[in-house]
Structure 1
Amino acid sequence: MTSLWLDPAPAIPTDGPDSPRSFDEIVVGGGLTGLVTAVLLARAGRRVGVLEAREVGAVTTGNTTAKLSVLQGAHLQTVLHRTDGRVLRGYVEANLAGQRWLADYLQANGLPVQVRDAVSFASTPDGRSTVEREFEVAREAGLPVTFGEASDLPFATFGAVRLAGQLQLDPMDALAALAAELRSLGGVVRTGVRMTGVRVGRPVRVRTTAGEFACERLVLATGIPTLDRGLYFGKLRANRSYAAAYRTDAPLPTGMYLSVDAPTRSIRTAPDPDLDAPNPELLLVGGYGHEVGREPSPAGRAAALDRWAHEVWPDAVQTHRWSAQDYETPHGVPFVGWLPRGRGRVHLATGYDKWGMTNAVQCGLTLAGDLLGGLPDWARTLRHRVTLPRAIGVGIGINAAVAKHYAVGWARAMTRDLPAAAPREGEGSVGRARGAGDGRGWFERMPRPTAVSTVDGVTCRVSGICSHLGAIVTWNDAEHTWDCPAHASRFAADGRLLEGPAKRGLARRPA
């Protein structure tokens, strides 16, 4: 599964192992949040290093639908419901600031961007009240929205709220420009370097798979913080959603659309990289999300999205398909600022709930304000929000679900023997396996939860226990990965760590 933006991804020059290891600030994460923060710091004369575990944009930013919009489905009413009007207005101001900053940056660098109307629509009669409420809330927050119908969609809708002048882009263009500017200012970008631990002192010592780095202050700009201090893994709900690009000769919608009822469906267009294609634009369809590690068949969700796209555009030919992971906070507003128990020298940003284009930039502006001084007024408003009972209830629900999946996962893993035969191609299962350890003692010979899968003709056996906090992983048949239903760490079929709060992969088990 490769996104339209990553195939082919632009060649983004980075730095090698002979580059400096001591900085004023180190930013962990080479996505939009990390690079915006790093550029703002470097412009102020700071010595900045960016450490990315994989490649620039390899995780969230490179797998987004890349809509730079302040109208966000039905999210504004979620923020208002879980906070108050003051926080809602601060959230809108923050997203407008992020949108303006990135739009100006793209224009200044001559990068393509398309101006579109953002439209939140109801696909069922029951969804109309949600659209009407979003219209009221958006207007209350000061947005110039209009109410009507999504008449240019080739299927029936039941009301729509529209905000003109929103943007869509190729996110990898933005990352390439940001990385180039950072390096021109003396910053360093290292890829293939995963952070494994931190010792907070003067300086902050950052342990990685490429040795130790040092800095005065550390910024965690990963999807979810990879340091457990602060317990953010227990404050966030992780979701995966799916997207696909299609070529079609049918007339294409002219805006960026998102349904407010289930299943969520996102619709937009993008320039076709094949200049010889008869239609200059591709159709992008996304949605059908689920909580990470808790869906029996993610492939079924991706297939349902594809079936729906062909029902509406029968001649559509899929060119790309991909998925992304997003994190939701209990109150609907990102966490950004100081990490608890970080002595004021460790900072973080997380919890964009599928709206990372605007929120990533506003969080970068907030982090730069923290580190350099001059925090925006809207950032102060968001920081001093009160956690209301509704948000507390959401947080309790998040952790109750985690406890359930710990219990269910372990019960199933320890009462189900692994089959003797290898799984069929593309399949995986978890069960108990005797002698799963490498030693000869009685403990090593005890049954252990073991995960076995077959991908591209290769059968792999790994520990079925997530290396983060010990939940039992589940098989993702859409992406051929092992996903943790507790805190959303994800691993390749051979156990390699892909993303999430875990710091190491799944241990290999002997055949």
Structure 2
Amino acid sequence: MTSLWLARPTRIEADDPAAAPRVFDEIVVGAGLTGLVTAVLLARAGRRVGVLEARGVGAAATGNTTAKLSVLQGAHLQRVRRRTSARVLQAYVDANLAGQAWLLDYLGDRGVPVQRLDAVSFAATPAGREIVEREAETAREAGLHVMTDVADDVPFEVHASARLAGQAQFDPMDVLEALAAELRGLGGVICEGVRMTGASVGRPVRVRTTAGAFSCERLVLATGTPILDRGLSFAKLRANRSYAAAYRTDAALPQAMYLSVDEPTRSIRTAPDPDLASGAADLLLVGGYGHGVGRHPSPRSRVDALDEWTRSTWPDAALTHRWSAQDYETPHGVPFVGWMPRGRGRVFIATGYDKWGMTNAVQCGLTLAADLLGELPDWARTLRHRFTTPVALGAGIGINAAVAKHYAVGWGRALVTRLPEAPPPEGAGSVGRVGRAPVPTAASTVDGVTCRVSGICPHLGAVLAWNDAERTWDCPAHASRFTADGVRLEGPAKRDLRR
């Protein structure tokens, strides 16, 4: 599956790791929106900045987002309010407004195409009406001018809706291309295909990678979930996988960005059609239908459900692209950003955007740059010193209880399952024991090739689960993901699976 944004050739230039400098003031790990915003702000201040990316620029969350730059975020604001306080909610909204304003100014200055549209949170069922009304009330409490109206430009029933004018959407790779060009113009370095494998947090910080060692004064981890375990961030996050698809249709398209507040989540927007010969001005993008990483028996069924709903709503819809993304949720509903515990003030992180990475990535980049260069904004200081409410504590306990359950279920099933000698059918994967081996084996067949790898996640030893939509091995504990032949894709794991 390839996203609409990553399907076209990139115009991003990277540096040769073998010829790149080995010493920097700051090293940023992860070349998504958070990493590149942070790196650009540091480079503007005259810092020597290196960005290390395990795959390619935008290969993970940013290149697979639906790219809505909105402060109205489904039903998220009421979740923040319920788990924190009115003061923290206001700081969260102020942070998102700051991130939104910074990015819009940046894109406007560089002529990057942006579509300014309203954002609409809607109820697809009668039960969702109360959620919409509560979200509108919460948004107004934080100073947002939200209207409740009837959505009349979509071909499905809407039971209630809340609308915030003046939001935006764009191609996220256009954003990364502009940021990467500015960074390299300021003397910054971007190395693709370089995976960080560890770090020694001394003076200087020594960063171990697949391309050798680098050193820096301070290290920024902008990798979705931090790939160092020092702060135990992996134990404070819930990972979710969601799906998206682009369609060409002759039907009338929505004139706003829509997101349902009830299940299954449905996210709807448009995007300029890259195929000018098609005659269509815009494509229809539909996303949602998410689930916990490694915790659904058939992710393919979620992809199929999204497609079936789209075709039942727009009968002539023709699929052009399909993709997925991974997001992390914190117990508070507010990102973790700033110095990493046990990082001696030299390691910084940003994670936990809960599907709202466009505004939150930028506000976290602003926060990280302020951490490293100067005074924090008031909203960043408030978010950093939030207290843990009983509701947030309960959410955190729930996150770890679910992890414990999947450790027990995964190992219990793997130890009593014998892996057949015959290869799995095409597109299938299974985990079980081979002979008397104490460690489960994961076997899969993809494109006619059968691979057998360790069925245990190298991070903390959970039994992996097969993702039949993406043909990957996914960890149900802390959401590391691997290709069918064991190559690490994302998550806190730092090694590939053993063949």
TM-score (ref. length: structure 1) = 0.97
Deviations 1:446-469 (A, max 9, x none): 342000000011000000000000
Cα offset for 1:180? 0.7
SS state of the match for residue 56, structure 2? coil
Show the counterpart of 1:425: 426
Deviations 1:192-217 (A, max 9, x none): 00000000111000000000000000
Counterpart of 2:72 in structure 1: which amino acid?
A: L
Cα offset for 1:395? 0.3
Looking at structure 1, the residues matched to 437 and 297 of structure 2 have their Cα atoms a distance apart, in angstroms, of 28
Counterpart of 2:285 in structure 1: which amino acid?
A: L
Instruction: Check whether the contact 1:490–1:497 (CA below 8 A) recurs between aligned residues.
Output: yes
Work out whether 1:252 is the aligned partner of 2:243. no
Looking at structure 2, the residues matched to 261 and 254 of structure 1 have their Cα atoms a distance apart, in angstroms, of 21
How much is the aligned-residue C-alpha RMSD, in angstroms? Answer: 0.6
Counterpart of 2:493 in structure 1: which amino acid?
A: A
SS state of the match for residue 476, structure 2? coil
Looking at structure 2, the residues matched to 322 and 311 of structure 1 have their Cα atoms a distance apart, in angstroms, of 20
Looking at structure 2, the residues matched to 7 and 106 of structure 1 have their Cα atoms a distance apart, in angstroms, of 21
Looking at structure 1, the residues matched to 244 and 330 of structure 2 have their Cα atoms a distance apart, in angstroms, of 23
Cα offset for 1:350? 0.2
Show the counterpart of 1:473: 464
Cα offset for 1:374? 2.0
Change (3 A) 1:9 1:81: farther
Deviations 1:486-509 (A, max 9, x none): 00000000000000000001100x
Instruction: Check whether the contact 1:70–1:92 (CA below 8 A) recurs between aligned residues.
Output: yes
Looking at structure 2, the residues matched to 391 and 149 of structure 1 have their Cα atoms a distance apart, in angstroms, of 33
Deviations 1:26-68 (A, max 9, x none): 0000000000000000000000000000000000000000000
Work out whether 1:324 is the aligned partner of 2:339. no
SS state of the match for residue 440, structure 2? strand
Cα offset for 1:432? 0.5
Counterpart of 2:480 in structure 1: which amino acid?
A: S
Show the counterpart of 2:398: 397
Cα offset for 1:277? 1.9
User: Bigger CA drift: 272-281 or 229-238?
Assistant: 272-281
Aligned partner (choices 490, 493, 496) of residue 505 of structure 1: 496
Show the counterpart of 2:416: 415
Deviations 1:414-440 (A, max 9, x none): 100001210011000000012xxxxxx
Looking at structure 1, the residues matched to 425 and 12 of structure 2 have their Cα atoms a distance apart, in angstroms, of 38
Show the counterpart of 1:2: 2
Work out whether 1:454 is the aligned partner of 2:455. no
1:275-286 equivalences under 5 Å are: 275-286=276-287
SS state of the match for residue 187, structure 2? coil
Looking at structure 2, the residues matched to 361 and 26 of structure 1 have their Cα atoms a distance apart, in angstroms, of 18
Looking at structure 2, the residues matched to 187 and 236 of structure 1 have their Cα atoms a distance apart, in angstroms, of 31
Looking at structure 1, the residues matched to 367 and 334 of structure 2 have their Cα atoms a distance apart, in angstroms, of 13
Instruction: Check whether the contact 1:239–1:325 (CA below 8 A) recurs between aligned residues.
Output: yes
SS state of the match for residue 137, structure 2? helix
Instruction: Check whether the contact 1:329–1:351 (CA below 8 A) recurs between aligned residues.
Output: yes
TM-score (ref. length: structure 2) = 0.99
1:25-44 equivalences under 5 Å are: 25-44=26-45
Counterpart of 1:481 in structure 2: which amino acid?
A: T
Work out whether 1:168 is the aligned partner of 2:169. yes
1:1-20 equivalences under 5 Å are: 1-16=1-16, 17-20=18-21
Deviations 1:219-246 (A, max 9, x none): 0000000000110100000000000000
Instruction: Check whether the contact 1:9–1:172 (CA below 8 A) recurs between aligned residues.
Output: no
Instruction: Check whether the contact 1:10–1:173 (CA below 8 A) recurs between aligned residues.
Output: no
Instruction: Check whether the contact 1:464–1:473 (CA below 8 A) recurs between aligned residues.
Output: yes
Counterpart of 2:466 in structure 1: which amino acid?
A: W
Looking at structure 1, the residues matched to 47 and 13 of structure 2 have their Cα atoms a distance apart, in angstroms, of 21
Looking at structure 2, the residues matched to 231 and 35 of structure 1 have their Cα atoms a distance apart, in angstroms, of 24
Ranges in structure 2 where 5+ consecutive residues have no aligned partner: none
Show the counterpart of 2:407: 406
Counterpart of 2:447 in structure 1: which amino acid?
A: D
Work out whether 1:488 is the aligned partner of 2:479. yes
Looking at structure 2, the residues matched to 217 and 52 of structure 1 have their Cα atoms a distance apart, in angstroms, of 17
1:233-244 equivalences under 5 Å are: 233-244=234-245
Looking at structure 2, the residues matched to 121 and 171 of structure 1 have their Cα atoms a distance apart, in angstroms, of 24
Show the counterpart of 2:272: 271
Counterpart of 2:392 in structure 1: which amino acid?
A: A
Looking at structure 2, the residues matched to 446 and 417 of structure 1 have their Cα atoms a distance apart, in angstroms, of 11
SS state of the match for residue 289, structure 2? strand
1:216-235 equivalences under 5 Å are: 216-235=217-236
Give the share of equivalent positions with the same residue, in percent: 75
Instruction: Check whether the contact 1:31–1:56 (CA below 8 A) recurs between aligned residues.
Output: yes
1:64-463 equivalences under 5 Å are: 64-434=65-435, 446-463=437-454
Looking at structure 1, the residues matched to 150 and 53 of structure 2 have their Cα atoms a distance apart, in angstroms, of 43
Deviations 1:56-99 (A, max 9, x none): 00000000000000000000000000000000000000000000
SS state of the match for residue 498, structure 1? strand
Counterpart of 1:7 in structure 2: which amino acid?
A: A
Deviations 1:261-317 (A, max 9, x none): 000000000000011222200000000000000000000000000000000000000
Show the counterpart of 1:53: 54
Looking at structure 2, the residues matched to 337 and 447 of structure 1 have their Cα atoms a distance apart, in angstroms, of 41
Show the counterpart of 1:437: none
Deviations 1:167-199 (A, max 9, x none): 000000010110110010010000000000000
SS state of the match for residue 63, structure 2? helix
Looking at structure 2, the residues matched to 312 and 33 of structure 1 have their Cα atoms a distance apart, in angstroms, of 35
SS state of the match for residue 344, structure 1? coil
Looking at structure 2, the residues matched to 131 and 484 of structure 1 have their Cα atoms a distance apart, in angstroms, of 34
Cα offset for 1:19? 1.2
